[in-house]
């Protein structure tokens, strides 16, 4: 079997453009992948053209390790989000082809089921004014959908430091959520790599009464010593990983022992098999995996297949219930949480397809998603 063509499909949405792939073969099997990278669509689409020409066309989709290494090692300028996102999208599509050829879901091919179900947590639900009463009201939508865990960034456009007023306001937002959801629902706190170690430590201590399940990316991802400093001085688990790429990029942060939870993203970190390798590194240090997914439904499918064949998975992020309706409709077969949990997909491959006509109805949108603007959490494009 040989790959004969790769076609990108761009779906426009409110705050990002989703990039899906179809990878076609000479035997008629078609694999679905995703290489969404917000604010980097032009770079991804441009790099994809060259990578397909140099490495992908003519390759056997079963030879995933060989194709991955040629796309990674044979490019002198390697690593970084654009190149690894393209590699990831191709790799995921190849697993889809392999699963379809074998008549098995991907998770069965990559080790088989480790879990009966995997808890989902909701994100992107808090698109309301940053007031405690607004957050407390909006979180009822999360509960109504059956979620038993959620994530929130309550900090606005803060950077390195926050004023005392903003610290208190952010903590009050989380306290309002805790009161609204009760003691059993898990609340994860997103910090988006904003803070100095000192600020993150102070905020974590202020947030303790709300019993967060973790603080995520408390410091800029490049600053691993500060992450280590935070981990040493807080009593809340520390999570990070969405902005590290491949097992090589994760080595230093895992060896630092700073994180408790690793949040590699399958469409940025190198694909599903690369996620398995990162999970093995994390497992050596007794770290759990919570795959990052602020992307589209194909990434959701890739995450869920990874989750069910990986022993040290804790929980799975999900944006799909809080995106525009056409986002999930564009990918029939997308795994959806039931009563707050994902269950093992049973269809061959990833179990998803693309509704190409619907994607054409929602084309690329011009804009820039800037997380350092006020009201960024409303998740709308601004002028770039």
Kindly report, residue by residue over 93-114, the tens digit of the pLDDT.
999 999 999 999 999 999 999 9
Q: Which residue numbers are catalytic?
A: 192, 292
Nearest to 272 by CA among 117, 99, 106: 106
Domain coordinates in residue numbering, the chain:
3-103, 108-355+363-375
Residue 381 has pLDDT above 90, yes or no: no
Nearest to 287 by CA among 241, 318, 342: 241
pLDDT at residue 383, rounded to an integer: 66
**φ and ψ of 61, to 5 deg:** -65, -15
Same fold, 3-103 and 108-355+363-375: no
CA-CA distance, 249 to 251, in Å (whole number)? Answer: 6
pLDDT at residue 181, rounded to an integer: 98
CA-CA distance, 42 to 172, in Å (whole number)? Answer: 40
Got the DSSP string for 276-289? HHHHHHHHHTT-EE
3-103 in CATH: which number?
3.30.390.10
Contact 301, 320 (CB under 8 A): no
Nearest to 352 by CA among 7, 95, 36, 63: 95
* Radius of gyration from C-alpha coordinates of the chain: 20
CA-CA distance, 377 to 158, in Å (whole number)? Answer: 12
Residue 260 has pLDDT above 70, yes or no: yes
Instruction: Give strand pairing partners of 169.
Output: none
Task: Please name the fold of domain 108-355+363-375.
Answer: TIM Barrel (3.20.20)
| Percentage of the residues of the chain whose pLDDT score is greater than 70 | 99
Give the mean model confidence (pLDDT) for residues 230-235.
98
The two tokens of residue 370 are: 């800037």
Give the mean model confidence (pLDDT) for residues 234-246.
98
Residue with tokens 């990874």: 306
pLDDT at residue 89, rounded to an integer: 98
Give the mean model confidence (pLDDT) for residues 173-195.
98
Residue 384 has pLDDT above 80, yes or no: no
Q: Helix 81-102 and helix 41-51: axis angle, to 10°?
A: 60
CB neighbours (10 Å) of residue 95?
Answer: 27
Contact 273, 110 (CB under 8 A): yes
CB neighbours (10 Å) of residue 221?
Answer: 15
| Percentage of the residues of the chain whose pLDDT score is greater than 90 | 97
CA-CA distance, 321 to 355, in Å (whole number)? Answer: 18
Kindly report, residue by residue over 287-327, the tens digit of the pLDDT.
999 999 999 999 999 999 999 999 999 999 999 999 999 99
């Amino acid at each position: 079997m040989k790959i004969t063509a790769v076609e990108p499909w761009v779906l426009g949405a409110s705050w990002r453009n989703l990039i899906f792939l179809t990878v076609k073969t000479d035997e008629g099997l078609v694999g679905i992948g995703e290489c969404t990278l917000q604010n980097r669509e032009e770079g991804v689409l441009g790099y994809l053209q060259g990578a397909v020409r140099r490495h992908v066309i003519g390759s056997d989709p079963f030879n995933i390790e060989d194709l991955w290494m040629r796309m990674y090692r044979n490019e002198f300028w390697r690593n970084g989000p654009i190149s690894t996102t393209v590699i990831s999208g191709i790799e995921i599509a190849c697993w889809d082809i392999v699963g379809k050829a074998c008549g098995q879901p991907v998770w069965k091919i990559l080790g088989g089921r480790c879990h009966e179900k995997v808890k989902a947590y909701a994100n992107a639900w808090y698109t309301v004014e940053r007031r405690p009463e607004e957050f407390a009201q909006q979180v009822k939508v999360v509960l109504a959908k059956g979620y038993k865990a959620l994530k929130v960034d309550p900090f606005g456009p803060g950077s390195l430091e926050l004023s005392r007023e903003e610290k208190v306001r952010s903590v009050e937002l989380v306290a309002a959520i805790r009161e609204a959801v009760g003691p059993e629902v898990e609340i994860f706190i997103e910090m988006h790599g904003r803070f100095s170690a000192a600020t993150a430590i102070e905020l974590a201590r202020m947030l303790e009464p709300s019993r967060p399940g973790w603080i995520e990316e408390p410091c800029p991802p490049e600053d691993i010593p500060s992450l280590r400093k935070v981990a040493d001085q807080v009593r809340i688990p520390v999570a990070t990983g969405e902005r590290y790429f491949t097992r090589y990029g994760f080595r230093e942060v895992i060896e630092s022992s700073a994180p408790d939870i690793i949040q590699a993203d399958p469409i940025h970190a190198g694909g599903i098999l690369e996620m398995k390798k990162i999970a093995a590194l994390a497992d050596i240090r007794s770290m759990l995996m919570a795959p990052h997914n602020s992307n589209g439904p194909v990434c959701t499918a890739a995450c869920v297949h990874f989750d069910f064949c990986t022993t040290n998975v804790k929980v799975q992020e999900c944006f799909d219930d809080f995106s525009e309706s056409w986002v999930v409709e564009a990918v029939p077969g997308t795994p959806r949480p039931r009563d707050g949990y994902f269950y093992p997909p049973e269809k061959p491959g990833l179990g998803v397809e693309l509704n190409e006509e619907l994607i054409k109805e929602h084309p690329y949108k011009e804009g820039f998603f800037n997380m350092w603007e006020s009201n960024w959490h409303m998740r709308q494009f601004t002028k770039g």
